[in-house]
Amino acid sequence: MDNGTAVSTPGRIGNLHWGDILVIVGYFVAVMGVGIWSSCKNRGSVGGYFLAGRSMHWVPVGASLFASNIGSGHFIGLAGSGAAGGIGIAAFELNAIFILLLLGWVFAPVYVAAGVFTMPEYLRKRFGGQRIRVYLSILALILYVFTKISADLFAGAVFIQQALGWDLYLSIIILLAIAALFTIAGGLTAVIWTDFIQTIIMIIGAFILTGISFSKTGSYEETVQKFFEAVPNTTLYGSSDLPGNNSNPYAKCGIPPQNSMNFFRDITDGLPWTGVIFGLTISSVWYWCTDQVIVQRALSAKNISYAKAGTILAGYLKFLPLWIIVFPGMIARILYPDEIACTNPDICKRVCNQESGCTNIAYPLLVIRLMPNFVRGLMLAVMMSALMSSLTSIFNSSSTIFTMDVWTRIRKQASETELMIVGRVFVLFLVAIGIVWIPIVQNFSELFHYIQSVTSYLSPPVCAVYVLAVFWKRTNEPGAFYGLLVGLLVGMTRFIWEFSYPKPSCGQEDTRPAIIKDVHYLHFGILLFGITVIVTVTVSLLTKPMPDKYLRRLTFWDRFNKEAADNVSLMDKDELAEQNKHIEEKQAKSSEQAPVVEQPELEEELPWYKTACNWICGIEKMVDQPQLTDEEIRALQEKQNSIYEEPTWRRVLNANAIILMVVAIFFWGFYH
């Protein structure tokens, strides 16, 4: 193993054949072409930039839901966990199938009926006030930066180091720059269409590697049998500095678990069945039904039927990671047990430069050693596209939240042009944070479980408040706020406490407090969810309820109400006064303007750099857009916020949802 150091040989650049370079260049040319073409649409307004004009077809919506979730962290993390403990980690993917249907059938109709751009905006309409919206906006940005962006960067770093031998910082900076360029120039339309292309490439390349991998191990039954026999030599005999007998502290660490082919595992296991069924569901509802990155895709669909169809397509795609990521990770352990399953810290340090273990290199190792020329380049494009897909989604959604929920609080009278410029500039800010964070994320181990544990400490309170907001009318603003506050304090306490004690390596004694080592993070998520619900319900019952006129079209039970909610009454008096003043100023300014005189030569008089800047910021189309009347605006909003479905398509979608759930239940039963 060369630890990521490239070896220069004739006809090769680093670890790549010249044919691999051609494939990568062709990929980037194709994807950039699609991004530039799609960026010419829906760029001239906030709705077009952030929600793709709510005009997306169900196929790219479903593909984008899948691609936004499956990033480099999944290829590295799922394959690594598969190599370490079998198929159990795929339970996270199968669980998401049911939650995706919840998004399409329960949550998305409420969001569409409410006519919201962002998830904090929904709570703003639901409860009034500003503290919940600002709280959730800032929390979402923190989660994006320190879990999603950091995880993808770490995973990309692992792949680049092991597979390419390129300079780590230069490679990641280039990837970040390209991802930011797509997001800044094109908005959500470019992101969704590039996601669609990247998903196709990702699946094709992963299937090719899966086929090659299974050809090395034989049939499915042989692969399973060989996995249980994939034990490194250091486990049996010890290394040069450890006695080769039963006193070897690492002797039990390199043996695959007996429940490696089961989803449902003992309550004391690293993936307890109680945590997978209940705790994981709580985190999944937060991620798939309330997280801006995901929900934004569903809200971009043409109508609610297209949104449901997109969630069904994404649900079917979620069966794939078990076969194209987890099983290849297990095969990597079969083929290279001494490297992938190393247990001795000294040996692991030599293999992958990490003392805690080398399962994270399972997928890159397969690509390096099994893929033929040209196809290896395709797989590199897959990994880069997975990284870019996730990053572009996070950049776009983060800029949406910052622009619509934070900047509008700082600049209450910001123009639409200003909002679009701020959204793009904020992407550059995220890029800078990502680059600065690279040295820190390099020290993370057990990436996938780290992400899930952080999620279990921070997301259950948010999940609880959204569920109560959608289903229980009696929930009010004080109850939601104090529920979030108490949940955050409890979750952060556990988060800080746990990461104050480093997790011991395999073979070492665990001296951490019992509350940390014995209470699984998924079980803690259940407890945290319950605490938040109790606090929210108690405070809501002890305080004044919200009148029904403020809740129209904002709960699941009122989603078909023909009347919009009287949300203006929930606004702060100062804010309402400022908005009225702003409207009066605009009306006065409009009445003072002279009759419009066409000046076709105006655009020609602009300097070239201003014209280019206007194009990048999407302003050039805003200048030429016709002004809609109040009636036209109301009609357009009613159409966009409609959740009416044609009876035929509703029955077709319901039937497909049932079929999808039956197939998922079969897999749960087969691998119980």
pLDDT tens-digit profile of 115-141? 887 787 888 888 887 788 778 877 878
Q: How many whole angstroms separate alpha carbon 577 and alpha carbon 208?
A: 62
User: Quick one: pLDDT at residue 40?
Assistant: 57
Residue 251 has pLDDT above 50, yes or no: no
The phi, psi pair for 113, rounded to 5°, reads: -60, -35
| DSSP secondary structure letters along 420-466 | HHHHHHHHHHHHHHHHHHHHHHTT--SHHHHHHHHHHHHHHHHHHHH
How confident is the model over 498-526, as pLDDT tens digits?
Answer: 877 777 766 677 788 888 888 999 999 99
How confident is the model over 636-649, as pLDDT tens digits?
Answer: 566 666 777 889 99
Residue 656 has pLDDT above 80, yes or no: yes
Residue 376 has pLDDT above 90, yes or no: no
Q: How many whole angstroms separate alpha carbon 409 and alpha carbon 576?
A: 13
What letter represents residue 510's amino acid?
A: D
Residues 6+ apart with CB under 8 A from 138: 406
Least confident of 177-186, 302-311, 516-525: 177-186
Other beta carbons within 10 angstroms of residue 438's beta carbon come to 18
Architecture category of domain 32-568+641-670 in CATH? Up-down Bundle (1.20)
**Which two structure tokens, joined as six digits, stand for 34?**
């699609």
Residue 302 has pLDDT above 80, yes or no: yes
Average pLDDT over residues 305-316: 93
Residue 597 has pLDDT above 50, yes or no: no
Q: Looking up tokens 């009225």, which residue turns up?
A: 580
User: Quick one: pLDDT at residue 474?
Assistant: 94
Answer whether 75's CB lies under 8 Å from 325's CB.
yes
Nearest 5°: the CA angle 330, 236, 262 is 35
Least confident of 126-140, 560-574, 588-602: 588-602
Dihedral angle over CA of 644, 645, 651, 654, nearest 10? -70
User: Quick one: pLDDT at residue 23?
Assistant: 81
Residue 286 has pLDDT above 70, yes or no: yes
> Facing residues of 16 across strands?
13
User: Quick one: pLDDT at residue 239?
Assistant: 41
Q: How confident is the model at residue 234 (pLDDT cuts 50, 70, 90)?
A: low
Other beta carbons within 10 angstroms of residue 359's beta carbon come to 29
Residues 6+ apart with CB under 8 A from 558: 473, 551, 552
Q: How confident is the model at residue 608 (pLDDT cuts 50, 70, 90)?
A: low
Residues 6+ apart with CB under 8 A from 331: 213, 214, 216, 217, 223, 227, 366
Residue 178 has pLDDT above 80, yes or no: no
Answer whether 80's CB lies under 8 Å from 359's CB.
yes
Residue 455 has pLDDT above 70, yes or no: yes
Q: Looking up tokens 């797989």, which residue turns up?
A: 379
Quick one: the chain helix, strand, coil %, rounded to 5? Answer: 75, 0, 25
SS (H, E, C) 293-316: HHHHHHHCECCHHHHHHHHHHHHH
Residue 143 to residues 140, 265, 455, 491, 525, Cα–Cα distance (Å): 5, 29, 8, 13, 16
Residue 503 to residues 154, 335, 344, 516, Cα–Cα distance (Å): 19, 28, 16, 10
Most distant pair of Cα atoms in the chain: their distance: 94
pTM: 0.79
Q: Looking up tokens 């087969």, which residue turns up?
A: 670
Q: How confident is the model at residue 489 (pLDDT cuts 50, 70, 90)?
A: very high
User: Quick one: pLDDT at residue 11?
Assistant: 53
629-667 burial, b for 16+ CB within 10 Å, e for fewer? eeeeeeeeeeebbebebeeeeeeebeebbeebeeebeeb
Alpha helices in 513-606 (DSSP H): 514-517, 521-542, 573-592, 602-605
Q: How many whole angstroms separate alpha carbon 33 and alpha carbon 182?
A: 11
In a 3-state reduction of DSSP, which class is residue 12? strand
Residue 563 has pLDDT above 70, yes or no: yes
Least confident of 116-125, 176-185, 590-599: 590-599
Residue 8 has pLDDT above 60, yes or no: no
pLDDT higher for 17 or 468? 468
Average pLDDT over residues 602-618: 53
User: Quick one: pLDDT at residue 497?
Assistant: 86
pLDDT higher for 258 or 14? 258
Q: How many whole angstroms separate alpha carbon 368 and alpha carbon 375?
A: 11
> Whole-number mean pLDDT of the chain?
77
Average pLDDT over residues 77-104: 92
How confident is the model over 348-362, as pLDDT tens digits?
Answer: 877 777 777 788 889
If you average pLDDT over each of 75-79, 109-113, 528-532, which comes out highest? 528-532
The phi, psi pair for 423, rounded to 5°, reads: -60, -40
pLDDT higher for 640 or 550? 550
Least confident of 20-24, 239-243, 280-284, 307-311: 239-243
Average pLDDT over residues 445-454: 75
Nearest 5°: the CA angle 348, 350, 352 is 65
Q: Looking up tokens 């494939």, which residue turns up?
A: 23
**Which two structure tokens, joined as six digits, stand for 508?**
């070492």
HSE on the CB side for 424, CA within 13 Å? 22
**Which two structure tokens, joined as six digits, stand for 463?**
């999940």
In a 3-state reduction of DSSP, which class is residue 565? coil
In a 3-state reduction of DSSP, which class is residue 13? strand
Average pLDDT over residues 170-182: 67
Least confident of 22-31, 72-81, 237-246, 257-266: 237-246
How confident is the model over 469-486, as pLDDT tens digits?
Answer: 999 999 999 999 999 999
Average pLDDT over residues 75-85: 88
Which among 435, 400, 438 has a CA at the least distance from the CA of 420? 400
**Which two structure tokens, joined as six digits, stand for 458?**
């921070």
- Backbone region of residue 261 per phi and psi (left: phi > 0; alpha: psi in -120 to 50; beta: other values): alpha
Q: How confident is the model at residue 416 (pLDDT cuts 50, 70, 90)?
A: confident
pLDDT higher for 361 or 468? 468
**Which two structure tokens, joined as six digits, stand for 585?**
């100023």
Q: How many whole angstroms separate alpha carbon 527 and alpha carbon 415?
A: 44
- Backbone region of residue 644 per phi and psi (left: phi > 0; alpha: psi in -120 to 50; beta: other values): beta
HSE on the CB side for 273, CA within 13 Å? 10
**Which two structure tokens, joined as six digits, stand for 557?**
């039970």
**Which two structure tokens, joined as six digits, stand for 197?**
């292309």
Q: How many whole angstroms separate alpha carbon 406 and alpha carbon 610?
A: 28
Average pLDDT over residues 9-38: 67
| DSSP 8-state secondary structure symbol assigned to residue 16 | E
**Which two structure tokens, joined as six digits, stand for 29?**
């040319």
Q: How many whole angstroms separate alpha carbon 362 and alpha carbon 376?
A: 15
No. of helices (H) and no. of strands (E), the chain = 34, 2
Average pLDDT over residues 578-587: 52
**Which two structure tokens, joined as six digits, stand for 651?**
């029955």
How confident is the model over 39-65, as pLDDT tens digits?
Answer: 555 444 444 444 444 567 788 888 888
User: Quick one: pLDDT at residue 634?
Assistant: 60
What does R_g of the chain's alpha carbons equal in angstroms?
Answer: 26
Answer whether 184's CB lies under 8 Å from 50's CB.
no
Residue 53 to residues 105, 168, 196, 456, 513, Cα–Cα distance (Å): 22, 38, 17, 34, 52
Residue 621 has pLDDT above 50, yes or no: no
Q: What percent of the chain has pLDDT over 90?
A: 27
Answer whether 550's CB lies under 8 Å from 566's CB.
yes
| DSSP secondary structure letters along 608-640 | HHHHHHHHHTT-HHHHHPPPPPHHHHHHHHHHH
Residue 661 has pLDDT above 70, yes or no: yes
User: Quick one: pLDDT at residue 274?
Assistant: 93
Q: How many whole angstroms separate alpha carbon 546 and alpha carbon 562?
A: 19
Residue 270 has pLDDT above 60, yes or no: yes
Average pLDDT over residues 624-640: 56
